[in-house]
Amino acid sequence: MATTLVPSASAGLVQAPVLRRPPRRRVGTVGRILGYAAMIVAAAAVLLPFYWMVISSLKTNNTVFTAPIQWVPEVFQWHNYVDIFTRAEMTTWLKNTLLLSVVVTFLQVLTGSFAAYGFSKVHFRGRDALFLVYVGTIAVPWQAYMIPQFILFSKLHLSNTLWAIIALQAFGAFGVFLMRQFYETVPEELSEAARLDGLSEYGIWRRIMLPLSVPALASLALLTFVNTWNDYLGPLLYLRDRDLWTIQLGLRTFVTQYNTEFALIMTGSVLSVLPVAIIFMLGQRYFVQGIATTGIKG
Amino acid sequence: MSIEVLLDRRQQAVRRRGRLRRHNALVGWSFILPNFVGFAILTLLPVLALFFLAFTGWNAFGNAPWVGSDNFTRMISDRLFHEALYNTVYYTAFHIPLTFAASLGLALLLNRKLRGVAFFRTAAFFPYITSIVAIAVVWNMLFSPEFGPINQFLQALGVSDPPGWTSSTDWSMPAVIIVATWREMGYYMLLFLAGLQTIPADLYEAARVDGAGAWQRFWNVTLPGLRPTTFFVTVMLMIGSFKIFDLILVMTNGGPGTSTVVLSQFIYRKAFVENQFGYASAASIVLFLICITVTVVQFLVNKRREA
């Protein structure tokens, strides 16, 4: 399916430079039609898997795979969305995942923005070297140090508790990096003026920086929330007990356990994606901004 | 004013500056500390410990006996390790150019004033923030050899013997590469779009006046103008490809056979399935070194070209 993208992509490659400045130069009709055609093909390639997931979740089990494909279910099986809660421990998984995502997001935003202020607005010796260490660890893949980390967490009796996931995600360098990038754009005069007015550094952070950085905080919060919600590897390594499982871990196990329950598997998948989809639709501006300021996702 | 008074004032100023500096350091550290304590214990310490663990034969029980470079010599003759390395390179070699071309193409397409561009920009980004588990599950079904939508589509196009995808040793890696490209192209598209916006429009005008065609303008204006973005995207793509893990873990679990076992998965298997933590740590170091080398080399090349 994605291979269909290549022709559209190369079409765009050749076309785009010609049509770069639409206001000054009239775009040719042919170019316009080609552009729309390429966009439709690309949009189909991106969105069809999601569409297929949603319609399959509303079918009976033996109508998921039919030839030819049924693009609209004959009868919508809404009860799949009730059945999944009795067939799997959906409630537990969703509850755990929500709890983890909220706590991690809160801690990451709080400690991240606090530390970023220290890195950006307070001048002291060793500050920049320390920041370099922070940024450096972003480049180190987690897979490379997951083993010593696992051993450490076991020694601290964190493994097989929800605390492990909180510890894993909440103190990342990513939040510090994103918030510092934002604070660097706030003019020094602002905090200087506040300092002359007698505000302490903590006061400046709370009364001036926090209110100013609401968009950056929103970016960080959304990215962290979605990241924690989607995390599979952390829970896979650390959460053994069934009643600690998150939605990703639970869904994965459900798929291996009931590997022929195609419709219900898709129902579970939709439920695991739905919260992220809603958050993304409401705050897509902040996602894009967060990516643009750092170039990375957590 | 006597010299003594002046000297005294200066001393006072120095002392005040010293006190200010100490005060600043204290305040600065108090801001950083809440995050730093967590970061140092949970990330920094494990990264450093890795370099000790890799030279031991620790197997999750008892002490960690020092074995020197044994783990590394063992890797040289380990067939599964060779396969993992080969598969990782295979994945990287196809995933990088495909994702690069797709995301740059999309960015060029969306950098025009067509209706629906904003909607598409959002849509293309969505796969990137969708969970790997859901994506792998859905694509596994789309790829199912007999009645899967993809093979039905291929048959409709006239392919009489469509590939077995994730159930065939030859086609499982291409399947993974397709899904990974599909998932990530929206993200790199955003980076390219941001890069395209920084190229001054006058350059295109000037090129047009000089009679440059569309292709020449792309080659001589767009690509050079995108250089910082291209650099960043290549580094991110390389590191991302070499550490590919969760997608494979959920989609194929390394199979069928060992056809999609990659480096990260080798590490995971050795450590958490076979309890050979020392050996797995040595493999981690290889992954670590690859990623660092990639970053440093790209950085140096980029610097030389700029000079």
- Transcribe A33-97 into DSSP letters: HHHHHHHHHHHHHHHHHHHHHHHHHTS-GGGSS-SS--SS-SS--TTHHHHHHHHS-HHHHHHHH
Q: What is the mean pLDDT of residues B220-238?
A: 87
Q: For residues B8 and B108, state if they share a domain.
A: no
Q: For residues B49 and B100, state if they share a domain.
A: no
Question: Nearest by CB to B101, which of A6, A173, A265?
Answer: A6
Q: For residues B6 and B151, state if they share a domain.
A: no
* B109 to A38: CB separation less than 8 angstroms, yes or no: yes
Name chain B contacts of A111, Cβ cutoff 8 Å. Answer: 34-35, 38
Question: Nearest by CB to B113, which of A1, A22, A152?
Answer: A22
Please state the ipTM of this predicted complex.
Answer: 0.84
* A50 to B30: CB separation less than 8 angstroms, yes or no: no
Question: Residue B98: pLDDT above 90?
Answer: yes
CA distance B150 to chain A (A): 7
Q: For residues B92 and B189, state if they share a domain.
A: yes
Range with lowest mean pLDDT among A278-292, B9-23, B25-39, B84-98? B9-23
Residues in chain A: 298
Q: Which residue of A has its CA nearest to B122?
A: A284
CA distance A129 to chain B (A): 13
* A2 to B102: CB separation less than 8 angstroms, yes or no: yes
pLDDT of B201: 85
Residue B61 covered by a domain? no
Q: What is the pLDDT of residues B166-186, one digit of tens each?
A: 888 899 999 999 999 999 998
Structural domain total, chain B: 2
Residue B203 contacts A, CB cutoff 8 Å: no
CATH classification of the domain holding B290: 1.10.3720.10
Residue B133 contacts A, CB cutoff 8 Å: yes
DSSP 3-state of B82: helix
* 67-86 of B, contacting A, C-beta below 8 A: none
Q: What is the mean pLDDT of residues A168-190?
A: 86
Instruction: Determine which of A3, A8, A13 to mutate to test the interface with B (most B C-beta atoms within 10 Å).
Output: A13
* B250 to A149: CB separation less than 8 angstroms, yes or no: no
pLDDT of B120: 85
Residue B272 covered by a domain? yes
Q: For residues B25 and B110, state if they share a domain.
A: no
Strand-pairing partners, residue B81, are none
Question: Residue A294: pLDDT above 80?
Answer: no
Instruction: Determine which of B141, B244, B252 to mutate to test the interface with A (most A C-beta atoms within 10 Å).
Output: B141
Q: Which residue of B has its CA nearest to A144?
A: B284
Residue B228 covered by a domain? yes
pLDDT of A13: 33
Name chain B contacts of A21, Cβ cutoff 8 Å. Answer: 201, 204-205
Query: Higher confidence at residue B273 or residue A8?
Result: B273
Q: For residues B202 and B268, state if they share a domain.
A: yes
Name chain A contacts of B201, Cβ cutoff 8 Å. Answer: 20-21
Q: For residues B22 and B155, state if they share a domain.
A: no
Buried/exposed code over B237-246 (b: 16+ C-beta within 10 A; e: otherwise): bbbbbbbbbb
Fold of A84-294: MetI-like fold (1.10.3720)
Q: What is the pLDDT of residues A240-286, one digit of tens each?
A: 999 999 999 999 999 888 888 888 999 999 999 999 999 888 888 78
pTM of the predicted model, to two decimals?
Answer: 0.84
* A43 to B123: CB separation less than 8 angstroms, yes or no: yes
Domain that holds residue B181: 70-306
Q: What angle do CA A217, A220, A221 make, to 5 degrees?
A: 80
* A171 to B42: CB separation less than 8 angstroms, yes or no: yes
Residue B160 covered by a domain? yes
* B133 to A252: CB separation less than 8 angstroms, yes or no: yes
Q: What is the mean pLDDT of residues A90-117?
A: 93
CA distance A238 to chain B (A): 11
User: Do residues B63 and B56 make contact, with C-beta atoms less than 8 angstroms apart?
Assistant: no
Q: For residues B28 and B108, state if they share a domain.
A: no
Name chain A contacts of B268, Cβ cutoff 8 Å. Answer: 143
Q: Which residue of B has its CA nearest to A246?
A: B133
Question: Nearest by CB to A114, which of B35, B102, B124?
Answer: B35
pLDDT tier, A297 (very low <50, low <70, confident <90, very high otherwise): very low
Chain centroid offset of residue B293 CA:
13
Q: What is the mean pLDDT of residues B95-116?
A: 89
Question: Residue A10: pLDDT above 50?
Answer: no
Residue B60 covered by a domain? no
pLDDT of A247: 93
pLDDT of B306: 67
Q: For residues B45 and B186, state if they share a domain.
A: no
CA distance A148 to chain B (A): 5
User: Do residues A246 and A239 make contact, with C-beta atoms less than 8 angstroms apart?
Assistant: yes
Q: Which residue of A has its CA nearest to B236?
A: A296
pLDDT of A200: 87
pLDDT tier, A51 (very low <50, low <70, confident <90, very high otherwise): very high
Q: For residues B91 and B219, state if they share a domain.
A: yes
Q: What is the mean pLDDT of residues B153-162?
A: 86
How many A/B residue pairs have CB atoms within 8 Å?
337
Residue B176 covered by a domain? yes
Residue B29 covered by a domain? yes
Q: What is the mean pLDDT of residues B37-41?
A: 87
Name chain B contacts of A201, Cβ cutoff 8 Å. Answer: 27, 31
Residue B231 contacts A, CB cutoff 8 Å: no
Query: Domain coordinates of chain A in residue numbers?
Result: 2-57, 84-294
Buried/exposed code over A189-208 (b: 16+ C-beta within 10 A; e: otherwise): eebeebeeeebebeebbeeb
Q: For residues B22 and B160, state if they share a domain.
A: no
Buried/exposed code over B62-83 (b: 16+ C-beta within 10 A; e: otherwise): eebeebeebbbebbeebeebeb
Residue B300 covered by a domain? yes
Question: Nearest by CB to B131, which of A112, A119, A230?
Answer: A230
Give the whole-number percent of chain B exceeding pLDDT 70.
96
